[in-house]
Amino acid sequence: MIAEEMVIACCTDLAGKVRGKAFPASQFEKRTKRGIGWTPTNVQITCFDAIAESPFGSLGDLVLIPDRTARVRVELGENVPVEHFALGDIRHTDGRPWEFCTRSILKGALDRLNRVAGLQLVGAFEHEFQFRNATATLGGAYTVDGFRAERGMAETLVAAMRAAGLEPDTFMKEFGAGQYEVTMGPSRGIAIADQSTIIRELIRSVAHAFDKEVTFTPIRNPSGVGNGAHIHLSFLKDDKPATWDPTGKHELSRAAGQFIAGILKYLDAVVAITAPSVVSYLRLTPHRWSAAFNNLGFRDREASVRICPVSELSDVSKAAQFNFEFRAGDATASPHLQLGAIVHAGVQGIEEELATPEATTEDLSLLSPSALTERGYVRLPKTLAEAIDRLLANQTVTGWFPGGFVDTYAKHKKGEMSFLEGKSQQEVCSLYEQVY
């Protein structure tokens, strides 16, 4: 059977989905100049394939331009189609960035970080996922046997990651039923979100080659274990590590402390973007090793932002190892939009010269509302609807984005929520498991 290889130009959208259009691979270079046609109302396609209220209707034309620096081509083996795609930017037909392009929004945030503080962002996403069609065995959490059960897929995935230009790190059998975690080495700037998108697509592709299905949903059932997308972040200034300061509070540099303070100050509004599904808020509850309050923790896996440990045994300097981890997010979000919101919040903290926060060392869920308020902590929204309301009410946060963006984003999420009306929690969980 004859075949001509195709490449998919794609982007992450408001639903956290990767959407695109394929064309013959032989056309790649010319498509980097003229792109492929795209439709504005595509942005309002929810994760459930409904179209939310759109300001664009049937009008308008855009182009999606693939970026050769975000191109992936991986040969998985005989009788398996080549995995070939390239992330790109959505632009107006005159070349201007489109206001609803998530990748362009992240670029704007990174430019702001550099302009305000002279910093370059370094980071990597950690991904947790679960196999949908695997029989879970009791007693497998963190075990060698748990890894052994998926060794074949793990080793193919590592090879695929390396072929795609990602730096493989670890693959682990996680705590939940059929749950695994994949980590990778850090990258810089826009590549942080690009590589997060790439690894998710590679996991899906490799799983499919092994006749398996995976899901990145935040939670598969109301009482189950959740899946997070944790983001490790640090800074460079003039190509030198700029996050660690041995004399700083919690050993954070002044800029890093201010950046974290900004994240925490605006987190109750930002979480509508970083954890943007209805089931995200089943996971963001106390005692799920996720995040429920706007707190900084010292090596605390229930904090929204965690100062990570460094190893005295490493051949990498402490300054280069030192990083912090954002934990109030999941894979229902576009990595580009998610990281863009986090960066904007952090830069806002730098601009406002906020003080480095105190690091909590206790269970905040045990404190009374008055005690939380006295110490400057807030409980994060308990529902997506509440999160959207807080986002819309915060003029500072809405001001980070192009005109009309947040209102359209809210309409998108309201369309997603309306699809779920009248369904039980378990039905809702099952639907998200299917689409993510």
Q: How confident is the model at residue 206, as a pLDDT?
A: 97
Q: Fill in the DSSP letter of residue 179.
A: E
**Is 264 found in the same domain as 141?**
yes
What is the chain's length?
436
Is residue 290 assigned to a domain? yes
Task: Give me the residues paired with residue 22 across strands.
Answer: 8
The alpha-helical segments, DSSP class H, found in 234-374 are 254-274, 280-283, 318-321, 335-351, 369-374
User: In the listed set 97, 113, 144, which residue is the last one of a domain according to the structure?
Assistant: 97
**Is 124 found in the same domain as 26?**
no
**Is 366 found in the same domain as 273?**
yes
DSSP symbols for 17-54: -EEEEEEEGGGHHHHHHH-EEE-GGGGGB-TTS-B---
pLDDT digits (tens, 9 = 90+) for 349-363: 999 999 999 999 888
Contacts of 122 (CB under 8 A, 6+ apart): 186, 187, 188, 192, 233, 234, 235, 236, 323
**Is 302 found in the same domain as 165?**
yes
**Is 132 found in the same domain as 64?**
no
Q: How confident is the model at residue 32, as a pLDDT?
A: 97
Is residue 322 assigned to a domain? yes
Q: Is the pLDDT of residue 338 over 80?
A: yes
Domain that holds residue 51: 6-97
For residue 288, name the pLDDT band (cuts at 50, 70, 90). confident
**Is 383 found in the same domain as 272?**
yes
**Is 183 found in the same domain as 59?**
no
User: In the listed set 97, 113, 131, which residue is the last one of a domain according to the structure?
Assistant: 97
Taking the complete model, does pTM exceed 0.75, yes or no? yes
Residues 128 and 174 sit within 8 Å (Cβ to Cβ): yes
**Is 217 found in the same domain as 330?**
yes
**Is 45 found in the same domain as 67?**
yes
**Is 357 found in the same domain as 223?**
yes
Q: Is the pLDDT of residue 299 over 80?
A: no
Q: Helix, strand or coil for residue 403?
A: coil
Q: How confident is the model at residue 363, as a pLDDT?
A: 86
Residues 152 and 382 sit within 8 Å (Cβ to Cβ): no
Is residue 1 assigned to a domain? no
Q: How confident is the model at residue 173, as a pLDDT?
A: 93
